[in-house]
Amino acid sequence: MTGNKKSCFSGHCLLFILLALSMAAGCAQVPITERRGLQFIPESNLTSMSLVEYDKILRESKLSSDKEEVDTVRRVGNRIASAADDFLRDAGMQEDLKNYHWEFNVIDDDKMVNAWCMPGGKVAVYTGILPYTKDETGLATVMAHEVGHAIAKHGNERMSQGVLAAIGGIVLSVALFNQSTGNRNIYMAAYGAGASLGVLLPYSRLHESEADRIGLMIMARAGYDPREAIPFWERMNSQAEKGRRPPEFLSTHPAPSSRIADIQKYMPDALSYYKTP
């Protein structure tokens, strides 16, 4: 009897923590979309963790020695970074500028078709994506998209979601204390699938769409034609199709048709920032 009361008490405490964290995250807002996101990890802590991981990746990777390649990435990156800073100021988020220390590196890996921007503004572009970017505008599309993730603080939101999902699993485990092992396993498996399909994957697709939208505005501000984003994503989609893309509801990225349609919808806003050279 005492054990049951203790389990219930622990469950109530964990549930309270879960609700408290959710409520505390209500003030975090994504620029442009104005969506309120779950972000309860201090940004300074996240930036410090990202810097450690970034340094580790650079140490373990082969950096490009192609001067023209590196100079191009850094030239485009600096323009995107400057536009991103202006974007934050215009969005009333100038306080966030202190968290971004922009840096751009090229990792020599022709098999990796990827690029990323960590919280804090550390950016890496893999040589494998350069055949798809083709030129500086294509490169600007990629880098602005990745910077869009950082500005929207998607890394914080994903990590916060993961913590919350883990706490929810603990709460459920405590609540099922008196159930048989078989029933507990069934409930926990259902919870894991529900958290992934119902929350984590949809939010990941939402993050991709937000990064597309923010990225369009940033590349346009930087002087790159946002209309060129469409042929870039079409090239990327043709590459993805070679790997048997999963159904959209099981994917972390929107379906190609959904992504292109959304980009076309946001294009008039992006073009309002674009000044023809």
CB atoms within 10 A of CB 102: 19
Q: Phi-psi bin for 153: left (phi > 0), alpha (psi -120 to 50), beta?
A: left
Task: Return the structure tokens found at 15.
Answer: 């549930």
| Catalytic entry in 146, 157, 208, 210 | 146
Radius of gyration (C-alpha) of the chain in whole angstroms: 21
**Would you state the structure tokens that stand for residue 24, as one six-digit string?**
């505390």
The percent of the chain in helix, strand and coil, each rounded to the nearest 5, is 70, 5, 25
The number of residues in the chain equals 277
Active site residue 95: no
Q: Give burial (CB, 10 Å; 0-12/13-18/19+) of 18.
A: middle
Half-sphere exposure of 94 (CA within 13 A, CB side): 4
- Burial 104-131, CB ≥16 within 10 A → b, else e: bbbbebeeebebbbbbbbbbbbbbbbbe
Q: How far apart are CA 277 and CA 272, in angstroms?
A: 14
Active-site residue list: 146
